[in-house]
Structure 1
Amino acid sequence: MRALTAAAIGLAAALALVFALTAVGAPDGHTSPEPLLTTVPEHP
């Protein structure tokens, strides 16, 4: 019974954190216009 109670408290805390972050919203910012390099450029 203690394990079930602990799991319920943990789930409630996790959901409260998710809802709090959702209420705050995403931080303001911008993305870079430069593309990210996924491979090493070849040198001639």
Structure 2
Amino acid sequence: MRALVAAAIGLAAAVLLVLAVAAIGVPEGSTSPKPLLTTAPAAPGQ
């Protein structure tokens, strides 16, 4: 029974958090026009 109450409280907190973020609005942002260039490390022994 305690697990059910804890799950209900957690679900209610998650829903409230989503509603709060929706009410405040998502922060403005943009993606970088440049791609992230990454290189793989050299294999050992080469």
Name the counterpart of 1:24: 24
Q: Which runs of 5+ in 2 are unaligned?
A: 38-46
Structure 1 segments (4+ residues) deviating >6 Å = none
The CA distance in 1 between the partners of 2:33 and 2:9, in whole Å, is: 44
The CA distance in 2 between the partners of 1:8 and 1:29, in whole Å, is: 34
Alpha-carbon RMSD = 1.8
The CA distance in 2 between the partners of 1:15 and 1:23, in whole Å, is: 12
Q: CA deviation at 1:28?
A: 2.7
Tell me the TM-score normalised to structure 1 length.
0.63
Q: Which runs of 5+ in 1 are unaligned?
A: 38-44
* Identity across the alignment (%): 70
